[in-house]
Structure 1
Amino acid sequence: MIKVKTKLNVDLKARGRKVISSVTEVDLGDDRPVRPKLHRVTKLMALAIRFQEMLRTGEAHDLTDLARMGKVSQPRMSQIMGLNLLAPDIQRELLDLPPQGRGKPFLHEKRIRPITAILDWAEQRRAWAEMLTQQAEFESATEAS
């Protein structure tokens, strides 16, 4: 169990001025198993597929409708929906990514966005393979340091 205690000391000075100092204790003795965390891009890919289905069935009329329901801007909704333009095998790989480790992940939606702009699936697959090679190099360099 993670316990975080924060103690605030507030001293009231003349004329309403306050001096606040804090003391924080952190106990990281966690006995619970850590649940694996899904990549954000995996969640976004699943959302894009779900949103596409909502458009197909008529639950939403257009991207503006979806953006309003998702409480995001219309341009952001367009970015998310762009993931549907990826080749089906790339979409499957995004959905099947292994759980995320600690730290910032190499694969994220902004890095994948240029691939979604490529219309030819063969070219997308080539760019995807190149990105996976870069990821492997990045991870091996990170582990070495």
Structure 2
Amino acid sequence: MAVINWTGNGDGSSWFDETNWENNTIPGSTDDVVINVEGNRTIQVDGSVNVNSINSSENLRVIDGALNITNGLTLGSGVSLTADGATASVLVNGASNIDGASLFAANGGSISLPGLTNYQSGDESDTFIEADGTGSK
């Protein structure tokens, strides 16, 4: 188990571009992911990803892929998590802290956060929880 930091030094957006990660290491199922870089970026997942945890101050977008998090998700205020497409899914087990973040399921995408027990909107930005399109949840 290791902490893997996003650097964005590759294309700046693709999860699967190894040069976007510290030590050119794409995180695996036992790794804790930290995404905390300057700028307003959207990290795009377009395949299957399994990690232990994610702590992100940047937007995450799953496009016809699967993001499975074993041990919790922390999203910064003003950040969005999107599952977009009929085969796009996000499953977060463990505790989640997403106060002030927005959740979007679109075009059949699904987001499941069974460990989420509390959600508060942000003080400084608008927040949304939205399912749009047939099959979205």
Where is the strand percentage greater, Structure 1 or Structure 2? 2
| Structure number with larger C-alpha Rg | 1
* Greater RCO, 1 or 2 (C-alpha within 8 Å, sep 6+): 1
- Would the TM-score normalized by the shorter structure come out above 0.5? no
- Calculate the TM-score normalised by the size of structure 2: 0.20
Where is the helix percentage greater, Structure 1 or Structure 2? 1
